[in-house]
C-alpha cells in the first residue's frame, strides 16, 4: 500500500570526534587493515566520549534546523537505539528533557537493533498520512563502543553516532514500507548482547540472514509502490559490510553506484546507519527533489524492513 502526503522534511547527524582506525585496532586485535577493508569496507570508525542521548539530541537539533522548525512544531519523539546509557528512563524522555519542552508530547524508544530507525519510520507513515500526527522527530543513536570487547576480532565492525529526521505531513510526498521479523532463524545466537557483558556475534549467521531477507524486503516495497528497480535513484542501507551490500544490490538489480555507503568512514553504526548515510548523501548533494529513495536494514532478532519514498525536500 502507498501512503500519500508524507515526507522527510529535515535531516541531521552527529558523529563523535574520536577516530579509531583499522591500524589502531591491529595493535590489540588479531586482524589487519587489509582484511577489514576488503571484507567489510571499513577504514575507521568513531568512538563516543558522550552519551547516546547527547549524541541524539545534537543530531535532532540539526534535523530541526534542516526542516526550518523548532521543537514546538513536533508532536511526537521516537528514539531508535539498542545501546542506551540507561534502561530507564527512555532515551526519548531524556532527550525530551534536554529540549526543555514546556508542553507534554509523547516520547518513547524503539529497539529493533540495526533496523530500529526503519521500523520507527514505518510505524509513523500511516499515522502521518492520516493526520494523526503532523511532525514526528525520529532519532537513532548508538554507542556500541561501550558494549565492545576491544580485544575481540568482532570489535572491528561497529562505530558510534546519531542521526535524526523530521517526518511530517507533506502533500507532495508518498511512502510505502515493509517490516518483518523471525526469531527462529539464529535470531538469539547470530548477534547477542546481554545486559552485563559485551556483544557476541556469529558472522556467518549475520551474513546468511542479510543476503536472504534484504533483497526480498526491497523487492516487496518496490512491488507495493509499482516502482521498478531501475527507477530507484538511491538505496540507503544500514552498513553491515560492503560485500553484503554488493550481493543485495545485485539481487535487486541495482548498480553499486546507486547504493549509498559510509562504512569506510564510520563502520556499522547499527540503528543510526541509515539516517547518518542519508545526511551524508544530502550534504554531498547526491539527492534531488523528486528522487526515489529506498531504505533497508536488518537487525538482531532477526528484525528487518524497507521503506520507499519520493524525496520532497
DSSP state of 268: B
Mark whether 93 is an active-site residue: no
Question: Which grid cell sits at 25?
Answer: 585496532
DSSP E strand stretches across 91-198: 107-110, 135-142, 161-181, 191-192
For residue 281, what is its C-alpha cell? Answer: 548523501
Phi, psi at 52, each rounded to 5°: -55, -40
**Catalytic pick among 114, 122, 133, 135:** 114
Catalytic option among 22, 122, 135, 268:
268
* Positive or negative torsion for Cα 146, 207, 308, 181: negative
Is 182 a known active-site residue? no
Of 95, 103, 94, 105, give the one whose Cα is nearest residue 134: 105
Region of 120 on the Ramachandran plot (φ > 0 left; ψ -120 to 50 alpha; else beta): alpha
- C-alpha 159/C-alpha 77 separation (Å) is 24
Query: What are residue 192's DSSP bridge partners?
Result: 200
Find out whether 143 and 283 touch, Cβ atoms under 8 Å.
no
The reply to whether 238 belongs to the active site is yes
Catalytic amino acids? 114, 238, 268
Amino acid at each position: 500500500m502507498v501512503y500519500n502526503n508524507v515526507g522527510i522534511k529535515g535531516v541531521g547527524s552527529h558523529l563523535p570526534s574520536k577516530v579509531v582506525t583499522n591500524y589502531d585496532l591491529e595493535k590489540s586485535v588479531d586482524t589487519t587493515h587489509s582484511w577489514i577493508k576488503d571484507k567489510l569496507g571499513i577504514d575507521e570508525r568513531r568512538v563516543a566520549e558522550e552519551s547516546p542521548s547527547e549524541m541524539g539530541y545534537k543530531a535532532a537539533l540539526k534535523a530541526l534546523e534542516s526542516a526550518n522548525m523548532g521543537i514546538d512544531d513536533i508532536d511526537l519523539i521516537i528514539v531508535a537505539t539498542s545501546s542506551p546509557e540507561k534502561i530507564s528512563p527512555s532515551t526519548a524522555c531524556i532527550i525530551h528533557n534536554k529540549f526543555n519542552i514546556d508542553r507534554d508530547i509523547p516520547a518513547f524508544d524503539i529497539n529493533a537493533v540495526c533496523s530500529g530507525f526503519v521500523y520507527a519510520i514505518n510505524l509513523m507513515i500511516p499515522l502521518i498520512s492520516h493526520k494523526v500526527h503532523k511532525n514526528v522527530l525520529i532519532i537513532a543513536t548508538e554507542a556500541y563502543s561501550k558494549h565492545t570487547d576491544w580485544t575481540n576480532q568482532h570489535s572491528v565492525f561497529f562505530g558510534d553516532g546519531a542521526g535524526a529526521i523530521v517526518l511530517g505531513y507533506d502533500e507532495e510526498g508518498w511512502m510505502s514500507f515493509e517490516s518483518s521479523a523471525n526469531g527462529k532463524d539464529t535470531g538469539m545466537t547470530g548477534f547477542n548482547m546481554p545486559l552485563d557483558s559485551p556483544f557476541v556475534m556469529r558472522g556467518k549467521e549475520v551474513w546468511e540472514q542479510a543476503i536472504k531477507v534484504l533483497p526480498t524486503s526491497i523487492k516487496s516495497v518496490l512491488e507495493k509502490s509499482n516502482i521498478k528497480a531501475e527507477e530507484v535513484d538511491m538505496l540507503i542501507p544500514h552498513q553491515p559490510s560492503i560485500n553484503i551490500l554488493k550481493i543485495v544490490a545485485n539481487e535487486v538489480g541495482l548498480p553499486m553506484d546507486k547504493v549509498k555507503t559510509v562504512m569506510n568512514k564510520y563502520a556499522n553504526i547499527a540503528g543510526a546507519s541509515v539516517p547518518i548515510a542519508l545526511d551524508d548523501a544530502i550534504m554531498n548533494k547526491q539527492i534531488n527533489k523528486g528522487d526515489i529513495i529506498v531504505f533497508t536494514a536488518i537487525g538482531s532478532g532477526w528484525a528487518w524492513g524497507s521503506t520507499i519514498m519520493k524525496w520532497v525536500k
